[in-house]
Amino acid sequence: MIRLGLDFDNTLISYDRLFRQVALEKGLIPEQTLPQKNAVRDYLRQQNREDEWTALQGEVYGSRILEAEPYPGMRAALDAVSARQVPMCIVSHKTRTPYRGPPCDLHGAARSWLTQEGFHAADGLAWSPDQVHFEPTKEAKVARIVALGCTHYVDDLPEILAMLPDGVAKILFVANGEVESHPSWRRMSSWSQLPALLELP
């Protein structure tokens, strides 16, 4: 039986436009910067402004998270998987508070976004809160995925998939550009591909 595990940041939720918007509001980047998280990060790092990048992440992942967008087709794909009675859960690596900037409960902020997007609504996905797990380290994240018995796991980070045991089917979400992956991994560039990648009837 399939049990699907899902990453949260940059997999279910897209911060690309929001990072650019907040960075522009603060005068951190030029207008021509692409609406991509990595474009904002790379510009600030090239300017030796790592601390400002770290503080920006805390704000976007915290107090501004409700402005972030779901990836196109994500909810439709999860609705289709749910309709086939496939158990699902979120397992994400996320610190409780930002490394820099004003204090904020990043776990609570992420849960608020999930509520906003209908994950817990009776007329939505109707998930229970215990289907959502935020872990403080990558190692704890991998241990949780294994403990929950996930047979398939979707993540945008190759390093996480590489840490998972061979028994877990690894699905690499590639939203922007090319990302190096292992030949045995499944690649997903659009959420509409998920049911087929899970080989659901």
Give kind and range of the element (H or E) at residue 4: strand 4-6
Which residue's entry shows tokens 């009675």?
85
Please tell me whether residue 148 adopts helix, strand or coil conformation.
coil
Per-residue pLDDT reduced to its tens digit, 60-102: 999 999 999 999 999 999 999 999 999 999 999 999 988 887 8
Q: How far apart are CA 39 and CA 65, in angstroms?
A: 19
**Nearest alpha carbon to residue 74 among 123, 124, 110:** 124
Q: How far is the C-alpha of 188 from the C-alpha of 197, rounded, in Å?
A: 8
Q: What is the pLDDT of residue 177?
A: 66
Quick one: 92 and 27 in the same domain? no
My answer on whether 111 and 175 are in the same domain is yes
Residues 83 and 37 in one domain: no
List the beta strands (DSSP E) in 111-151.
Answer: 132-135
> Cα(50)–Cα(42) distance, rounded to whole angstroms?
10
Q: Are residues 156 and 169 in the same domain?
A: yes
CA atoms of 132 and 183, how far apart (whole Å):
29
The torsion angles phi and psi of 155, rounded to 5 degrees, stand at: -150, 155
1-27: per-residue pLDDT in tens?
Answer: 999 999 999 999 999 999 999 999 999
Residue 178, pLDDT above cutoff 70: no
Average pLDDT over residues 179-200: 89
Tell me, yes or no, whether 25 and 51 share the same domain.
Answer: yes
pLDDT tens figures, 91-145 = 999 999 888 878 899 999 999 999 999 999 999 999 999 999 999 999 999 999 9
Contact criterion met (CB below 8 Å) for 173 and 4: no
The alpha carbon torsion through 61, 62, 64, 67 (nearest 10 deg) reads 60
Give the pLDDT score at 59: 95
Whether residue 53 is found in the same domain as residue 128: no
**pTM: predicted TM-score of the whole model, two decimal places:** 0.94
Q: Which structural domain range is residue 78 located in?
A: 4-13+70-197
Q: Output the pLDDT for position 102.
A: 81
Same domain, 62 and 81: no
Count of the separate structural domains present in the chain:
2
Co-location of 29 and 104 in the same domain: no
The verdict on 91 and 113 lying in the same domain is yes
Structure confidence at residue 179 as a pLDDT band (50, 70, 90): low
Whether residue 149 is found in the same domain as residue 85: yes
